[in-house]
Amino acid sequence: MGSVVQLPTGKALTVQSAADRYLDALGNPNTARNYGIGVSKTVERLGSGRPLQSVADDEIGETLEQLWGSSAVNTWNARRAAVQSWLSWCRDRGYSGPSVPVWTKRITPPDSDTPAHSKSEIDRLLARRDIHLREKTLWRMLYETAARSDEILALNIEDLDFAGRRCHVKAKGAKSKTRRRGESRDDFVLEAVYWDAGTARLLPRLLKDRTRGPVFTTHRKPGPGKVVGARDVCPDTGLARLSYGQARALLDEGTSSGNPGSGWDLHEYRHSALTHLGEQGASLLMLMAKSRHKKPENVRKYFKPSPEAIAELTSLLAPGNAQR
């Protein structure tokens, strides 16, 4: 007697048809062309006629390694980003399929540091009409709070203090509270982050009449085969929380120069905010309070003053301290 195999739930597609639908859905032809390189080669290696749901996560990772494991860092990051965007798009629409495995990580170029963008660059980006309100609010909030991206993406509306322009986040390495007998609890020690007028203007427009659920959500409801926690779904609209991968892909698409993976990274808003505060004369202790770092040496790598700021500082050494 043969064994009974339970088929995966969700809508089924072949690898090729899933790739075709994804690429056709990309509005920008330049993005479609560049993302198509990574997606097409991955489809060819996996087998175009295979059901997408039959592909394992590790197969995706092994395919990426085989195709671009020995390539330049920027090439690896670009191809990985394209495949990750494709698979995320499929899952968001209820198509059963794999994910890019966690061990297949984006690589930081060894000779580069996270850049700090100028305030004018950030303002110009957020003023663009082709950028959606959700992205504008997220990017402005990341900049003004100088918080980590996963901290802001994890926020629910109930966490926000609109009057105080602040919220409490579960910080990196947060320790769980303990009872008298040392038993671990589900809640954690939270830390406050603060935003300013830019975020205060955008948040009400983004939330409209919503009073609960994730602050930043996707534009579509999760598919029938996707398991989402109760906290990660808006109880009123049914929309799921925006993931880190989705948020990063949106920022890359909005800032890349036509080559996927060449755009900004979400973490660059934190670097930029702390650099600008330092250029304005904020003390090390105040920078530590804003960034919530415990060690001064950890704050130093975030402070990257511009050449203009260094030149202005150097002018203080002119004869007679003459201000030019």
Catalytic residue chosen out of the listed positions 11, 165, 293, 304? 293
Catalytic residue chosen out of the listed positions 21, 41, 267, 292? 267
Active site residue 132: no
Quick one: which of 2, 32, 19, 17 has its CA closest to 260?
32
Catalytic residue chosen out of the listed positions 105, 124, 172, 177? 177
Active site residue 300: no
Q: How many residues does the chain have?
A: 324
Distance CA 6, CA 32 (A): 36
Burial of 29 (0-12, 13-18, 19+ CB in 10 A): exposed
Quick one: which of 97, 28, 88 has its CA closest to 244?
88
Distance CA 62, CA 80 (A): 12
Active site residue 117: no
Catalytic residue chosen out of the listed positions 95, 143, 269, 302? 302
Catalytic residue chosen out of the listed positions 117, 134, 148, 290? 148
State the CB neighbour count (10 A cutoff) for residue 318: 10
Catalytic residue chosen out of the listed positions 80, 136, 140, 270? 270
C-alpha distances (whole Å) from 71 to each of 60, 66, 252 are 17, 10, 20
Active site residue 221: no
Element at 245 (helix H, strand E)? helix 244-255
Q: Which residues participate in catalysis according to the annotation? A: 148, 177, 267, 270, 293, 302
